[in-house]
Chains A and B, each alone.
Chain A
Amino acid sequence: KAGVTQTPRYLIKTRGQQVTLSCSPISGHRSVSWYQQTPGQGLQFLFEYFSETQRNKGNFPGRFSGRQFSNSRSEMNVSTLELGDSALYLCASSLGRGQRSYNSPLHFGNGTRLTVT
């Protein structure tokens, strides 16, 4: 089974631009969650999607948004980029959401490294 695939692997953008990152989950996984990882703040939860619906959201400004498609693939978008948005963005998939998902490990991709200059 193919793992979680994130594209692109590296990205360089300029302040004020916007960016879209893509995540393809493991086949059969319906839940996709996104994380931002920086040296200072560690792994921070952005949001989680299940069956095209956002189920949980972390404490990030509205510039960060996401969506999930009917095939469970997900994208996240960051608008009006700031220098502080430079980070490794990780996507994880799991089988389900709700009580079942508590017993469902996350499978992470290797992330997209975003650099904002």
Chain B
Amino acid sequence: GAVVSQHPSRVICKSGTSVKIECRSLDFQATTMFWYRQFPKQSLMLMATSNEGSKATYEQGVEKDKFLINHASLTLSTLTVTSAHPEDSSFYICSARVPSDNIGPPYNEQFFGPGTRLTVL
């Protein structure tokens, strides 16, 4: 159980275009999902917390107008990189938190998707 998928796994786009990345919890409902960014040889940096049915909470320094997050259902959150530029090239990873009333892993354990490699030319 507790499987998280991401789509696409890899995307290459031209500068100025927008890219949408999907994050899905496959076998559980996630009221909270998280979006991270990882640059080469660096650790994961939290970008934003996505809550179902409400606005996302962004970390300091992350532009909310550039990284649009939508959490329209309990199993899907999307991250849209608007007007992407080469400096946005990175590995984007989402995670989903198992709710406290589920049987299985401990409350607040996060399960991670396989990541999306974004390359902006």
Q: Does A pair with B?
A: no
B positions within 8 Å CB-CB of A: none
A positions within 8 Å CB-CB of B: none
